[in-house]
Amino acid sequence: MTEHTLTVAGVAVDTRHWIGGERVASTETFPDVSPIDGSVLGEISRGTAMEATAAVAAAKAAFPAWAATPRAERARILHAIADGVEKRLEELAIVETTDNGALLRSHRRGVMPRVAHNFRFFADWLLKLEHEDFETRGHTNHVSWDPAGPCVLITPWNAPLMLATWKVAPALAAGNTVVLKPAEWTPLTASLLADIAAEAGLPAGVLNVVQGYGSEIGDALTSHPDVRRISFTGSVPTAKRISASAAANLTPLSLELGGKSPLLVFADADLDLAVDLAVEQYDNAGQVCLAATRFLVQESVAEEFTRRFVEKAGQLTQGDPRDEATDIGPNIHPRQLEKIDGFVQRAIAAGARVVIGGHRGDGQYYAPTLLTDVAQDSEIVQEEVFGPVLTLQTFADEDEAVRLANDTRFGLAATVATGDPERAERVTAQLVAGTVWTNCFFVRDLQAPFGGSRHSGVGREGGTWSFDFYCDLKNTVTAPKGWQSHE
């Protein structure tokens, strides 16, 4: 091992940036701490504007050749990256679990296989991406997707590699080059991805990884005039700063931001199903942007729903995420834990009643919490907590349910539990959300558009929508006798 390598559960991870096909160290470092036990995993190269600028320059230099690479060859390399992910799936799973505290069983069975699928899906979608030619007064219209240029992709800590590759894969497939800036709390699997991509034959400079604090390198990336696209997943305040930074160059943005999504439970719902959906909102210790954190339950079944929920939630096991029996792991960082507890204690002080939880556990664990007797305009109802904290309110009828559901500044997702198909159709049509699930949760297909409304985001990605964002769309119109000389 070298001074620039750390070892996580036997897996070697390079702590330096990946720029222009080479490892680059910074003079300063920052500690990477595991949320499981608070141990320092290692010191990570702390990027500055110098490394950020170098990464954009490397992406710019690599862009012409990669953009000119035939679609089939780009797709082949993306499939090779997927092969590399699958080959190192166990290593990626244990490193990510150690780094961000999410369940190892989930990483093994769902998250890391999805990482590989992200590359395969967009590689295959690229090969069938087309728009049928059409005529206008005898003229032929041909629509094409042209690579846009270097892209800056800024990704969060709650599902680091999966959400990074959700952006990296379509950007690369489209023929763009990438500067990936992973969250400083979870940098390790992005470094491993750089190794995997290089081994798969991705040319130098096509993928670059710059680590560090957003406050120190973010502006150098997002205000750079050579950057052609910026995609960000994270908080609303950070998105506003990125938007302001990008505005000088009119750089197009894709923003997937916070959520305060509702779960609407009607009296005619299968209550066992509704309770299962409700308990699922504690997934990843509540650190899921799509989580339905606001339970809206029809008055006539609220008492029974609550009883069953408390019983079901009481069966959850909180503990070490590396243990197969664990259902809820730690929260990511002491600062996040403070934020979560602050929300809860302020809500209690304002009159909220604790149904379950409402307190910290040992270390960076927070007890699964449900609060009721909360006002619609209260902080706990209106603001994203991003922890295992849920609220319960009741409603009398459909109109009130929809009004309460839509009464926040967010609009990322919504979930509806009902046994009446006509009601489902009426209610879902009125909900302000980028994704609505009826009698299910977290069913996602990469063909579908994904994004949020209101303060939950700008734009949509997925399927052709991703290529629409990561490309410059061109329409070429040819006259019926366009090839004939006018002489």
Active site residue 289: yes
Residues in the chain, how many? 487
Taking CA atoms, 440 is separated from 106, 273, 436, 437, 456, in Å, by 19, 8, 9, 6, 21
Q: How far apart are CA 24 and CA 13, in angstroms?
A: 14
Q: How far apart are CA 198 and CA 206, in angstroms?
A: 10
Angle 71-87/160-173 helices, nearest 10 degrees? Answer: 160
Sheet holding 17-19, edge to edge: 22-24, 17-19, 207-209, 178-181, 151-154, 229-233, 253-256, 457-458
Would you give the DSSP letter of residue 262?
Answer: E
Give backbone dihedrals phi and psi of 135, rounded to 5 degrees, phi first.
-110, 145
Structure tokens at 247: 């505005």
Q: How far apart are CA 344 and CA 340, in angstroms?
A: 7
> Which among 289, 384, 461, 471 is annotated as catalytic?
289
Q: How far apart are CA 266 and CA 14, in angstroms?
A: 51
Q: Are 124 and 74 in contact, with CB atoms under 8 Å apart?
A: no
Active site residue 256: yes
Q: What is the three-class DSSP state of 350?
A: coil
> Which among 51, 184, 256, 461 is annotated as catalytic?
256
Q: Are 128 and 105 in contact, with CB atoms under 8 Å apart?
A: no
Structure tokens at 155: 């990704």
Around Cβ 202, how many Cβ atoms within 10 Å?
A: 23
Q: Are 225 and 249 in contact, with CB atoms under 8 Å apart?
A: yes
Angle 71-87/89-100 helices, nearest 10 degrees? Answer: 70
Around Cβ 307, how many Cβ atoms within 10 Å?
A: 12
According to DSSP, the residues that pair with 128 across neighbouring strands are: none
Give backbone dihedrals phi and psi of 411, rounded to 5 degrees, phi first.
-170, 55
Which residues carry out catalysis?
Answer: 256, 289
